Amino acid sequence: MNDIGVRDALPAGFVAAARTIAGAAGVIDDPAGMAPFAEDRRKRYPGRAALVLRPASTAEVSGLVALCAGAGVAIVPQGGNTGLVGGSTPDESGREAVLSLARMNRVIAVDPIDNTIAVEAGVILAEAQDAALAADRLFPLSLAAEGSCTIGGNLSTNAGGTQVLRYGNARDLVLGLEVVLADGRVLDLMRALRKDNTGYDLKQVFLGSEGTLGIITRAVLKLVPRPRETVTAWIGLDGPTAAVALLADLQGATGGQVTTFEYIPRSCLEQLLRLIEGHRDPLREPWPAYALLEATSGRSQGLRGTVEAALGEAMEKGLVRDATIAESEAQAGALWRIREELPEGEKRAGAAVKHDVSVPVSRIPDFFEGAEGAVARAFPGARVSAFGHIGDGNIHFNVLPPHAPDTDRFLARWDEVNRVVEDVAIGLGGSFSAEHGIGRMRQASFERYKKPLEIELMRRLKTAFDPHGILNPGRVVARP
């Protein structure tokens, strides 16, 4: 590691100028205080910050970004630091400043007539959900990191999660946005309009841009009616072909009221039962795979009967082997915990090469067959742990080494494994990064699979919005 101290990495007077803008609470420059901001979630990218900036208002963000721009100091925006692709932490150089939005954590307003919630970027996702519920509305973005990820991070990564099937990705939930540009100017797009065709939709440029084009400081988000009836079921299946056919049937039977349809192979459930206490197999007999189904309705009753009847018909057709419907919130919670703790179970089983691929839902069975076959041929004995948002065509297809002692040697082949799995997804018209983004981790895949013209246009956008390359450099598009 290159040993540059804060004072060497930053121009003289920089720290004092930052304190003048954001106050003592807005600047951290001691190494121990900065360390947590430099550690990525998966500990794949050791990093060191030149400085940590913690502004409390848009005006402070604006002042700090202008200061960085003037001094040529690169900025790594950070929300909850739950991102999984190495986009929210600084590199090893010790020259990048982290700009944390965590202190901008105010829910500004909830409007039940407009069906909107306006928030600052550092609001924790679960707090936005709670504020919506308090007004008898639902903010439908939901993911396992919701207790610590922030709205700014969710919008910057265009987060997906477990309700995309019904409500879309984060991008689909945004009406208005406020962004601090690379030169410090504030772009105010905080509109609450459902219709507004007045030229290019500039807010879209920033959604999913992973902090490389601007810093999101506030947003107006869409709310939907709060569900009155929720049906949660755990369904035993033969495999992905049955799962995809069942989803289509359930959507038809419920009139599109399926909010969640998650796929869990038996091997993942067994791993969880073995490694994490407090879980039990929801069904009496083992089945090759499972779906976690959630359907919701704005009416207070009727949905459960519809789901039961649909599952009964699917059983007669041989699509469903067995199923249980939660009788209480506690039972539903236990089923959800299985899904939410799968990543933890996998982590305890040992390190794995991760994938976040998607294909059209109809190609899911082909993907499983193709990817499992390709992995078995290229890496004999490697184990596959593949689960996820099958209703969105999005699978977290993770590959574990044949035996624990091989872990380091296997992980050294990370890129090779990625290529084998991602080639299959791309061959089926899919994507190599469905919901986690590019960051630093998916750079090689980005170069390999994106069309040259797409990359050229993205580079031009980057140059237009950040001509001096100070916003999250080296993430998403490498500098032109």
Q: Which residues bind ligand FAD (CB under 6 A)?
A: 41, 76-84, 87-88, 101, 121, 143-145, 149-150, 152-154, 156-157, 159-161, 210-211, 215-216, 343, 435-436, 439, 472, 475
What is the residue-wise DSSP string for 368-399? Answer: HHHHHHHHHHHSTT-EEEEEEEGGGTEEEEEE
| Closer by beta carbon to ligand FAD, 339 or else 363 | 339
- The least distance separating ligand FAD from the CB of residue 150, rounded to whole angstroms, comes to 4
- The least distance separating ligand FAD from the CB of residue 197, rounded to whole angstroms, comes to 26
User: What torsion, rounded to 10 degrees, do the Cα atoms 440, 442, 447, 452 define?
Assistant: -100
| Closer by beta carbon to ligand FAD, 54 or else 321 | 54
SS3 351: coil
| Closer by beta carbon to ligand FAD, 153 or else 391 | 153
CA atoms of 267 and 280, how far apart (whole Å): 14
- The least distance separating ligand FAD from the CB of residue 327, rounded to whole angstroms, comes to 27
Give the residue from 78, 79, 99 showing the smallest Cα distance to 22. Answer: 99
- The least distance separating ligand FAD from the CB of residue 235, rounded to whole angstroms, comes to 20
- The least distance separating ligand FAD from the CB of residue 219, rounded to whole angstroms, comes to 9
Query: Tokens 């982590």 belong to which residue?
Result: 347
| Closer by beta carbon to ligand FAD, 44 or else 304 | 44
| Closer by beta carbon to ligand FAD, 219 or else 311 | 219
Helix or strand (DSSP H, E) at 241: helix 240-254
CB within 8 Å of 304: residues ≥ 6 apart? 229, 231, 325
- The least distance separating ligand FAD from the CB of residue 276, rounded to whole angstroms, comes to 14
What is the residue-wise DSSP string for 423-436? Answer: HHHHHTT-BSBSSS
Give φ, ψ of 386 to 5 degrees. -125, 115
Query: Tokens 């540009």 belong to which residue?
Result: 181
SS3 4: coil
- What's the alpha-carbon Rg for the chain, to the nearest Å? 23
| Closer by beta carbon to ligand FAD, 81 or else 232 | 81
**The tokens of 76 are what?**
């790594």
- The least distance separating ligand FAD from the CB of residue 108, rounded to whole angstroms, comes to 15
| Closer by beta carbon to ligand FAD, 368 or else 387 | 387
Burial 216-232 (b: 16+ CB within 10 A, else e): bbbbbbbbbeebeebbb
- The least distance separating ligand FAD from the CB of residue 4, rounded to whole angstroms, comes to 22
| Closer by beta carbon to ligand FAD, 208 or else 370 | 208
Cα 336 to chain centroid, rounded: 18
| Closer by beta carbon to ligand FAD, 236 or else 391 | 391
CA atoms of 246 and 175, how far apart (whole Å): 34
Half-sphere CA count of 189, side-chain side, radius 13 A? 25
**By Cβ distance, which residue is nearest to ligand FAD?**
153
CA atoms of 92 and 2, how far apart (whole Å): 7
| Closer by beta carbon to ligand FAD, 76 or else 395 | 76
- The least distance separating ligand FAD from the CB of residue 405, rounded to whole angstroms, comes to 27
Burial 133-157 (b: 16+ CB within 10 A, else e): eebebbbbbbbbbbeebbbbbbbbb
CA atoms of 53 and 379, how far apart (whole Å): 45
| Closer by beta carbon to ligand FAD, 289 or else 476 | 476
The amino acid occupying position 407 is T
- The least distance separating ligand FAD from the CB of residue 242, rounded to whole angstroms, comes to 23
> What is the crossing angle of helices 266-275 and 329-349, to 10°?
90
- The least distance separating ligand FAD from the CB of residue 320, rounded to whole angstroms, comes to 25
